[in-house]
Amino acid sequence: MDSRRDFLRKSALLSLGGIVTKAVSEEKLNAIEKMSGENLSAATFILPPLPYAYDALEPFIDKQTMELHHSKHHKAYVDKLNDALLTTKNPGDATLEGIFKNMNAYNDAVRNNAGGHYNHTLFWSLMKENKDAKPNIPTGKMADAINATYTSFDEFKKAFADAGMKRFGSGWAWLIAENNKIKIISSPNQDNSLMSFAETKGIPVLALDVWEHA
């Protein structure tokens, strides 16, 4: 239980509404844990509810887009992951964390759908209502890390956008943390930096869906 919550805590450090490093509150952690399939230790995963209404992100993301992306696309990843696991020999830990650590032992169906489920769950949790579009500038250790690596927050935003724009085909842009350092990367399809074969490994901090339907 403690290791599972630690995994979720590390994966929920920042928010798209304001990437300010701070301890994740128990209330926030509980919400993200619920979103992650009610329990990551179960072999059967469920579609987590959004932590806000489908129209909460308007005018930036419309209700129809959110409803389609969550109730159709994300649900398909969850359903297909459960189907794939029924016909896949489990090498051990069938949690999302365990699947990622042993990714080479699973087929492409598990890889794509486990990644799709995790990536979208994190993505939803990183967004919040912000109708006034008030920017939140990073402070503290996160600001120090951004300035040390990218010289300024503006340059960081350019580099992050660039990672998404230059991802050939479908995939994700990421900010990851590893060994007290941050790095912007991208990954194809539904891969992420937690997977055992990832070229660059690290804890996902910020995620941007750059699939064509997004």
Domain 2-209 bears CATH identifier 3.55.40.20: yes
Cβ atoms of 40 and 1 within 8 Å: the answer is no
Residue with tokens 């649900």: 75
Q: Tokens at residue 145, please? A: 């890390």
Among candidates 57, 39, 58, which has minimal Cα distance to 48? 39
Domain ranges in the chain are 2-209
pLDDT digits (tens, 9 = 90+) for 73-90: 999 999 999 999 988 877
Element (H, E) at 101: helix 96-101
pLDDT digits (tens, 9 = 90+) for 141-195: 989 999 999 999 999 999 999 999 998 889 999 999 998 899 999 999 999 999 9
State how far the Cα of 174 lies from the Cα of 84, in Å rounded to an integer: 26
Half-sphere exposure of 72 (CA within 13 A, CB side): 8
Among candidates 39, 7, 10, 38, which has minimal Cα distance to 24? 10
Q: How far is CA 197 from the centre of its chain?
A: 17
Q: Tokens at residue 69, please? A: 């992306």
pTM of the model: 0.79
